Amino acid sequence: MVGRLFKKLEEFLLPERGADDGARYLEPVDVLQLIHQRILQLAQQIESHAELAPYPQVAERLRQIADDKRDIGNRLKKIIEKLHGSIKERSQRPATGKNHWQRLIRDLEDQKALDDLLSRYEFTLTRLAPEIAVFLRELKSIQESHSRSLTQLIAVADPQANQT
């Protein structure tokens, strides 16, 4: 039962894997559209968590991360359009948690899922669309920086706090 639940959750959170073993082929522009969507969703989520952050310096850092993601999203949109792709605007409610620590944990988990997506398709994208290789390396570096920042914020957050 847990295995089926995990599989359903995986299908919901990672639709690009398809209902099979994950071997479904995606065109480079499809992958870039998926990455674009995930980056903007995470930017929106982190921005909403910044509004609830207990300290101004934490809120400021979260807003910087969200702004970085929106900037990358805009640059990625231009690349997608150059490849004759379109942007599919999908709004999703940001994930939340009952306190600051739980929200940061969710942000980091979603960031790691984005990092995994980038890693999974990096070679294929670079091979099939070499003109975006430099951008992908920069994107990966920025996302790794965001992971480190979120990890640092979690390290100083109090998981027992009842702050909202």
pLDDT digits (tens, 9 = 90+) for 114-151: 999 999 999 888 888 888 888 999 999 999 999 999 99
Q: Is the dihedral of CA 137, 141, 142, 147 positive or negative?
A: positive
Query: What separation in angstroms does the CA of 28 have from each of 65, 79, 85, 121?
Result: 26, 11, 10, 9
Residue 19: predicted pLDDT: 40
- Where do the structural domains in the chain lie, given as residue ranges? 27-156
CA 11/CA 143 separation, integer angstroms:
23
In the chain, what percentage of residues exceed pLDDT 70? Answer: 79
Mean pLDDT of 87-99: 74
Kindly indicate the confidence band of residue 85, based on its pLDDT and cuts at 50, 70 and 90: confident
Give the tokens for residue 95.
Answer: 């994930």
State which fold the 27-156 domain adopts: Ferritin (1.20.1260)
Q: What integer is the mean pLDDT of 28-48?
A: 94
Cβ atoms within 10 Å, residue 65:
24
CB-neighbour burial class of residue 161 (10 A; exposed 0-12, middle 13-18, buried 19+) = exposed
